[in-house]
Chain A
Amino acid sequence: MNQRYANPYLIGVLLGLVLLFSFYTMGRGVGSSATFSRIAAAGVELAVPGHAQEGHYFSKYLVDRRSPLMDWLVFLTLGAGLGGLFSAFISHRIQGEVVRGPSINISARLCLALAGGVLSGFAARLARGCTSGQALTGASELAFGSWIFMFAIFAGAYATAVFFRKEWL
Chain B
Amino acid sequence: MGPLYKFGWFDFAYSLQLAGLTGFMFGFVLERAGFGNARKLTAIFYLRDFAVLKVMFTAIVVCILGLLYFSVFGWIDLSRVYILPTFIWPQIVGGLVLGIGFVMGGYCPTTSVVATVSGKLDGLVFIGGMILGSFIFGELFPLLEGLYEAGSMGPVRLSDVLHIHSGLVAFFVCLMAVGAYALVERIEQRFGDREALPGGSKRAKRTAAAALVFLGLILAIVNPDRIAAERATVSADETAKTTEALETTAPKPEKPASSRFKIVADEGC
B134 near A27 with CB under 8 A, answer no
- A residues 87-145 touching B (CB-CB < 8 Å): 87-88, 91, 93-101, 109-110, 112-145
Chain B residues with CB under 8 Å of A15's CB are: 26, 29-30, 55, 58-59, 62
| From B2, B55, B104, B158, contact of A147 by CB (8 A) | B158
A16 near B60 with CB under 8 A, answer yes
B2 near A25 with CB under 8 A, answer yes
CA distance A109 to B117 in the complex (A): 19
Nearest residue (CB) in A for B126 is: A117
Interface residue B155 (Cβ < 8 Å from any Cβ of A) = yes
Main secondary structure of the interface of A (DSSP, over half): helix
A95 near B119 with CB under 8 A, answer yes
Given contacts A8-B33, A99-B37, contact A119 B137 (CB under 8 A): no
A168 near B43 with CB under 8 A, answer yes
B160 to chain A, nearest CB (A): 7
| From A19, A23, A96, A143, contact of B84 by CB (8 A) | A143
B269 near A120 with CB under 8 A, answer no
CA distance A115 to B75 in the complex (A): 44
Interface residue A49 (Cβ < 8 Å from any Cβ of B) = no
Chain B residues with CB under 8 Å of A133's CB are: 268-269
A11 near B122 with CB under 8 A, answer no
B117 near A85 with CB under 8 A, answer yes
A21 near B25 with CB under 8 A, answer yes
CA distance A80 to B107 in the complex (A): 15
A145 to chain B, nearest CB (A): 3
B3 near A27 with CB under 8 A, answer yes
| From B29, B67, B95, B181, contact of A152 by CB (8 A) | B95
Interface residue B130 (Cβ < 8 Å from any Cβ of A) = yes
Interface residue A1 (Cβ < 8 Å from any Cβ of B) = no
CA distance A19 to B161 in the complex (A): 24
Given contacts A58-B138, A152-B95, contact A157 B26 (CB under 8 A): no
Main secondary structure of the interface of B (DSSP, over half): helix
Report B's interface with A, CB cutoff 8 A: 2-6, 15-34, 36-40, 42-43, 45-46, 50-51, 54-64, 66-67, 70, 75-76, 80-88, 90-123, 125-138, 141-142, 144, 147-148, 153, 155-161, 166, 169-170, 181, 198-200, 205, 208, 266-269
A37 near B113 with CB under 8 A, answer no
A81 near B117 with CB under 8 A, answer yes
A78 to chain B, nearest CB (A): 6
Interface residue A53 (Cβ < 8 Å from any Cβ of B) = no
Instruction: Give 7 A-B contacts (CB < 8 Å), ordered by A residue.
Output: A7-B200, A25-B22, A28-B82, A70-B16, A87-B31, A153-B98, A155-B95
B268 near A128 with CB under 8 A, answer yes
Nearest residue (CB) in A for B181 is: A9
Name the 9 nearest CB pairs between A and B, nearest first: A116-B105, A117-B129, A12-B58, A79-B23, A152-B95, A121-B133, A156-B99, A16-B62, A127-B94
A117 near B105 with CB under 8 A, answer yes
Nearest residue (CB) in A for B88 is: A145
A72 near B15 with CB under 8 A, answer yes
A5 to chain B, nearest CB (A): 3
Given contacts A11-B29, A125-B137, contact A4 B198 (CB under 8 A): yes
B103 near A164 with CB under 8 A, answer yes
Instruction: Find the residue from B43, B119, B135, B157 having the highest chain A CB count within 10 A.
Output: B135
